[in-house]
Amino acid sequence: MSDTSEQDIKYVDEATFTNTPSGGTELVHHDNGTMTSKFVAKRVDGKIVYTSNLKVSTNQMDRQFKMELTAKTLKAIVIASEKSDQPLKVVEGVDYRLNGEPRRNEADPSKDREGFQQAYYQPKPEPRKPIRIKY
């Protein structure tokens, strides 16, 4: 069991939020006979279509991402984003949960690059209601 209490954990409190593009992967055939896959964003009328999932990036390498972002917290973030060129799109009134492990990119002074970490959040699914079957 860990000696670290919930109160001792420092959470990310300064980050950039963006929606993730909708799309999928396609195979790319190379002249040498190999294939790789690459992500291709879905476009409508030449514009990228975005999901309501969130990518969160921060330079705070000594902090952790919260497992869940509440609807109340997200509402404040969305209101702040409305002043930007691309306001966030979220499912209103729904909490979001961390999707997978955050990705860390350590600083590299030789390349003059700061460290950063990224995490992805998605809306929590609605709880399923049990179905009663009568025999």
Judge whether 1 lies within some domain.
no
Residue 98 forms part of a structural domain = yes
The full length of the chain comes to: 135
Those residues whose C-beta lies under 8 Å from the C-beta of residue 95, and which sit 6 or more positions away, are 68, 69, 70, 71, 74, 123, 124
* Residue 61 lies inside a defined structural domain of this protein: yes
Contact (Cβ atoms closer than 8 angstroms) between residue 42 and residue 22: yes
DSSP summary character for residue 3: S
pLDDT digits (tens, 9 = 90+) for 64-110: 999 999 999 999 999 988 887 778 999 999 999 999 999 999 888 88
Predicted local distance difference test score (pLDDT) of residue 123: 96
Give a yes or no: residue 4 inside a domain: no
Please state the domain count of the chain.
1
Residue type present at position 121: Y
Helix, strand, coil in percent for the chain, rounding step 5: 15, 40, 50
Both tokens assigned to 84: 């930007």
Tell me the pLDDT of the chain averaged across its residues. Answer: 89
In a domain, 128, yes or no: no
43 in any annotated domain: yes
Q: How many angstroms separate the CA atoms of 64 and 104, rounded?
A: 11
Residue 135 located in a structural domain = no
How much is the pTM?
Answer: 0.76
> Count of CB atoms within 10 A of residue 46's CB?
5
Q: Name the least confident of 2-6, 9-13, 41-45, 60-64.
A: 2-6
Neighbours of 95 (CB within 10 A): 15
Which structural domain, as residue segments, surrounds residue 24?
Answer: 9-107+114-123
